[in-house]
Amino acid sequence: MSKKGVYNRRDFLKTAVGGAIGAISLPYIIPSSALGNAGNIAPSNRITMGFIGVGGMGTGDLLDFMTKDEVRVLAVCDVDKAHRDKARDTVNQKYGNKDCATYNDFRELIARPDIDALCIAVPDHWHSIPAIMGAAAGKDIFAEKPLAYSIAEGRAMCNAVKRYGTVWQTGSQQRSGRDFRFACELVRNGRIGGVHTVKVGLPEGGSILIETKPAPIPEGFDYEMWLGPAPWAPYAQERCHWNFRWISDYAGGQITDWAGHMCDIAQWGMNTELTSPVEIEGRGTGPTDGLYDTISNYRFECRYAQGFTMIVADTSQFALGVRFEGTDGWVFVNREKIEAEPKSLLSSTIGPNEIHLYKSDDHKQNFLDCIKTGAETVAPAEIAHRSIMIGHLGNIAMKLGRKLKWDPEKELFINDDQANRLLSRPMRGTWHV
């Protein structure tokens, strides 16, 4: 798709964005990139960005994007005033001015017509709503993994990205790593023969908290907005910010934190990026008392129609990473190393007539380049949806304690109403996707 094509689709969104945002009334939105001449991203030749969520991962993303000459950060948003003020000061110091705007409500940032792209780094239970609103508003989006809190919300996000022609990059940065790409190319090109088993190691454990007491909400922290679509609960310091990951109302523990990385690589190597298992079963344990309730020790098996089994287990059973086991050898890869048997595979070359996977050496630059060209990124929404689906399916199977059969096309469990009810969640108040 040409750059001109990208901006034509954004012009089209002027007729649709008002209804799509839903939660607030917005003017028709034309990104600043559409105001330049054809062939230019903007009159300043820069991509303007707004950041939603500037705590842990959001701060890292902000710092990374500000190293890019073609980026100009215009605004930051966070429900914690301390986070957004720190991010504002970081941006202003970078540019030597006081122009960075701050928002408590992400909808106000999305409504700005001078912002081309969003970076979203919020708790999992908030992933879908700002992403869908941002896509409807014509913004391109870099969003942290996992793609969504649930399978149903992930499907809604993919549909929105497709409908509005959004350039989307998921923060599954391993896809921009040489070792991960090379390992998957070895597997895809049959160097270890027919693959029968893929072992995926994810971190075990999490946090254990037996007792917690309600506490006064800190000044400057919009706790009601932090909860958003999740069930109401009394404020406790141990509930919020990074700790959300260990509470099932907001996330799925280590499984959904890391499946978007390691299961993603497993899918890439097996050429199953656009499908999912057909059968899932497993067992897992976790805290039985207290605030934290996500599964911390686990093992589940996923059987694919393609004839192989993916086993996902915590690191008390498998090394952190992905091991492809075939009839003629094996390949193991993680963030520290790549190993293989036979070892000669590691010095082999992928020939010009063999399968070469998407090459990206800089995850955030890949996103920016695709904004300019309209090309698909290395970690698009649909692929991220299928990757994290494995984690969601595993959590559901372990919660129910029985084997489940799954239809990858319909994205439904087969003849199992109880399991299908766990594919989505009710949202509190007026929030919806």
The answer to whether residue 424 is domain-embedded is no
> Do 122 and 184 reside in the same domain of the chain?
no
* Per-residue pLDDT reduced to its tens digit, 284-298: 999 888 889 999 999
Residue 84 has pLDDT above 50, yes or no: yes
Cβ contacts of residue 97 below 8 Å, gap of 6+?
Answer: none
> Do 119 and 186 reside in the same domain of the chain?
no
The boundaries of the domain holding residue 85 are 3-173
* Per-residue pLDDT reduced to its tens digit, 323-346: 999 999 999 999 999 999 999 999
The domain boundary residue, chosen from 127, 147, 173 = 173
Phi-psi sector, 190: left (phi>0), alpha (psi -120 to 50), beta: left
The rounded percent of the chain whose pLDDT value lies above 90 is: 85
Residue 207 has pLDDT above 80, yes or no: no
C-alpha span between 381 and 157 (Å, rounded): 8
* Per-residue pLDDT reduced to its tens digit, 146-167: 999 999 999 999 999 999 999 9
C-alpha span between 141 and 128 (Å, rounded): 12
The answer to whether residue 290 is domain-embedded is yes
CA–CA distance from 415 to each of 64, 94, 407, 424 (Å)?
46, 56, 10, 17
Residue 11 has pLDDT above 60, yes or no: no
The answer to whether residue 181 is domain-embedded is yes
> Do 205 and 346 reside in the same domain of the chain?
yes
- Nearest Cα neighbor of 265 from 193, 218, 201 is 201
C-alpha span between 258 and 242 (Å, rounded): 15
The number of distinct structural domains making up the chain is 2
The answer to whether residue 108 is domain-embedded is yes
Chain-centroid distance of CA 59 in Å reads 16
The answer to whether residue 371 is domain-embedded is no
- Nearest Cα neighbor of 383 from 61, 154, 132, 126 is 154
> Do 399 and 269 reside in the same domain of the chain?
yes
pLDDT at 33: 43
- Nearest Cα neighbor of 193 from 345, 309, 305 is 345
Residue 29 has pLDDT above 60, yes or no: no
DSSP string, 259-321: HHHHHHHHHHHHT-TT---SEEEEEEE--SSSS--S--EEEEEEE-TTS-EEEEEETTTS-SE
C-alpha span between 82 and 55 (Å, rounded): 9
C-alpha span between 263 and 383 (Å, rounded): 11
- Nearest Cα neighbor of 297 from 205, 194, 187, 410 is 205
CB atoms within 10 A of CB 421: 11
Chain-centroid distance of CA 410 in Å reads 22
> Do 339 and 205 reside in the same domain of the chain?
yes
The answer to whether residue 186 is domain-embedded is yes
What CATH number should be reported for the domain holding residue 308?
3.30.360.10
Mean model confidence pLDDT for the chain: 91
pLDDT grade, residue 208 (50/70/90)?
A: confident
Structure tokens at 190: 């049959």
> Do 39 and 169 reside in the same domain of the chain?
yes
pLDDT at 233: 95
* Per-residue pLDDT reduced to its tens digit, 376-397: 999 999 999 999 999 999 999 9
Of 34-38, 141-145, 402-406, where does mean pLDDT reach its minimum?
34-38
| Residue ranges with strand state E in 53-177 | 71-77, 101-103, 117-120, 140-143, 168-170
pLDDT grade, residue 44 (50/70/90)?
A: low
> Do 134 and 196 reside in the same domain of the chain?
no
> Do 269 and 195 reside in the same domain of the chain?
yes
Q: Hey, what long-range contacts does 420-428 have (CB within 8 A, 24 or more apart)?
A: 422/396, 423/150, 423/151, 423/152, 423/392, 423/396, 424/150, 424/151, 424/152, 424/153, 425/149, 425/150, 425/229, 427/229, 428/227, 428/228, 428/229, 428/230, 428/231, 428/232
> Do 267 and 394 reside in the same domain of the chain?
yes
pLDDT grade, residue 212 (50/70/90)?
A: confident
pLDDT at 206: 76
The answer to whether residue 221 is domain-embedded is no
> Do 103 and 200 reside in the same domain of the chain?
no
| Residue ranges with strand state E in 34-86 | 47-52, 71-77
Chain-centroid distance of CA 334 in Å reads 19
The answer to whether residue 370 is domain-embedded is no
Residue 99 has pLDDT above 80, yes or no: yes
C-alpha span between 306 and 272 (Å, rounded): 9
C-alpha span between 107 and 119 (Å, rounded): 14
Residue 3 has pLDDT above 80, yes or no: no
What CATH number should be reported for the domain holding residue 114?
3.40.50.720
> Do 142 and 241 reside in the same domain of the chain?
no
The domain boundary residue, chosen from 158, 173, 188 = 173
> Do 182 and 91 reside in the same domain of the chain?
no
Of 21-25, 241-245, 304-308, 402-406, where does mean pLDDT reach its minimum?
21-25
* Per-residue pLDDT reduced to its tens digit, 217-276: 999 999 999 999 999 999 999 999 989 999 999 999 999 999 999 999 999 999 999 999
C-alpha span between 66 and 68 (Å, rounded): 5
